[in-house]
Amino acid sequence: MSTKWQADAPSNIALIKYMGKKDAALNIPTNASLSLTLPHLRSFVELEVNEEPYDLWQPLTYLDYAPLKLSEPQQQRFIEHLQLIKEHLSFNGNFIVRSGNNFPSAAGLASSASSFAALTQCACLAISDLTDKEPLNIYQKAQLSQRGSGSSCRSFMYPWTLWTPENIQEVHFPITDLSHLSVLIDTSEKKISSTQAQQMVKTSPHFKERPKRAEQRLAQLLHVLNDQNWQEAYQIVKEEFLDMHQLFHTSKKPFQYINEQSVEIIDLIETYWTESKDGPLITMDAGPNVHLIFRSDQNSIKHKLQKELNSRGYDVI
Ligand code: DP6
């Protein structure tokens, strides 16, 4: 009987954002979101049976990067999710849980999505092994993961995931093999986490109409991606992340992630589009880093922009 299990899961980047919760205990989103799965950015989790009567978190040490550092509250939240899974599967044992990412943890990309998805995968695997119970299917695992961190439920499907308040589903578009670059601007820990941002946006005067705007943009984006209208997709995706950041800037206690460097990159991409009539999609999460998405036939554009960003002193992964 094995006493150690491993699993990993990809990160994802939302083009229509999950921002606001209908039910904070269950992480039911206010509006539907659409994300692209990022198979190259992964979290790894290892679980080992702990004979002591408690669960414990440790960093994984076999990855190439410096071991992950989680603050006490972050460790607590991770362990609580493990406990929720144990309860859900009526399991009483305890584990040492180790986790890490295949990207530098200082990159500011260590969103909870990939790590909660990997923990859910690993815990379900370990517990079904230890109890001989029927394993959960992908959809049940995604739903369980959602309770730990909402956006993690989108990391179970590929290449795109549509997550509505009622459902989580895999989506395909005619444009395939997209690639992604993150422009690293600030790699320090965020002062306001995405979970805190989810709470604070509710106090913005623009929040009331937000679900309507998000749903409208989602319908337009699904349409233009099906039509392979990349330029329209660029406009919609840009409007969408700026809308989310506008909520941050107008909440009762305003907060801001977009900084001078983010603006420099947003402007660089806009100029590129104006001059070339083509370019990458651009989006930002709850942080200052900028995400670029390229079609598979845009390799030369990608290399050109990567060179330009490097020459301006930005790390790109
Ligand atoms: C800005 O999934 O981190 O990345 O459910 O509280 O864990 P919790 O929130 P989280 O929110 C992520 C929000 C976002 C946009 C998105 O990924 O859709």
Residue 108 in this model has a pLDDT that exceeds 80: no
Q: Which residue spans within the chain are E strands per DSSP?
A: 4-16, 21-23, 28-29, 33-50, 56-59, 94-101, 160-163, 168-171, 179-184, 281-283, 290-294, 315-316
What pLDDT is attached to residue 313?
97
Residue 63 scores a pLDDT above 90: no
Dist CA 104 CA 118 (whole Å): 17
Q: Dihedral of the CA atoms 105, 101, 49, 136 (nearest 10)?
A: 130
Q: Is it the case that residue 135 has pLDDT exceeding 90?
A: yes
Judged against a pLDDT cut of 60, whether residue 46 lies above it is answered with yes
Tell me the percentage of the chain whose pLDDT exceeds 90.
Answer: 87
Spatial separation of the C-alpha atoms in residues 107 and 261, rounded to whole Å? 15
Q: Does position 105 have pLDDT exceeding 90, yes or no?
A: no
Task: Tell whether the model's pLDDT for residue 109 goes beyond 80.
Answer: no
Q: Which residues contact 63 (CB under 8 A, 6 or more apart)?
A: 44, 100, 101, 102
Q: Is a pLDDT exceeding 80 seen at residue 111?
A: no
Quote the ligand 1 centre to 307 CA distance (angstroms): 30
Report the residue among 11, 23, 78, 151 best suited for mutation to probe ligand 1: largest number of ligand atoms under 8 A from its CB: 151
Query: Among 22, 194, 195, 289, which residue has the most ligand 1 atoms within 8 Å of its CB, making it the best to mutate?
Result: 194
Q: Given this model, what pLDDT does residue 97 score?
A: 98
Which residues have CB under 6 Å of ligand 1? 14, 17-18, 27, 33, 112, 149-151, 194-195, 198, 285-286
Task: Kindly report the protein residue whose alpha carbon is nearest to atom 3 of ligand 1.
Answer: 194
Residue of 220, 219, 197, 221 lying closest to 36 (CA atoms): 221
pLDDT mean over 32-44: 96
Closest atom of ligand 1 to 21 CA is 5
Residue 30 pLDDT: 97
Paired strand residues for 250 = none
pTM of the model: 0.96
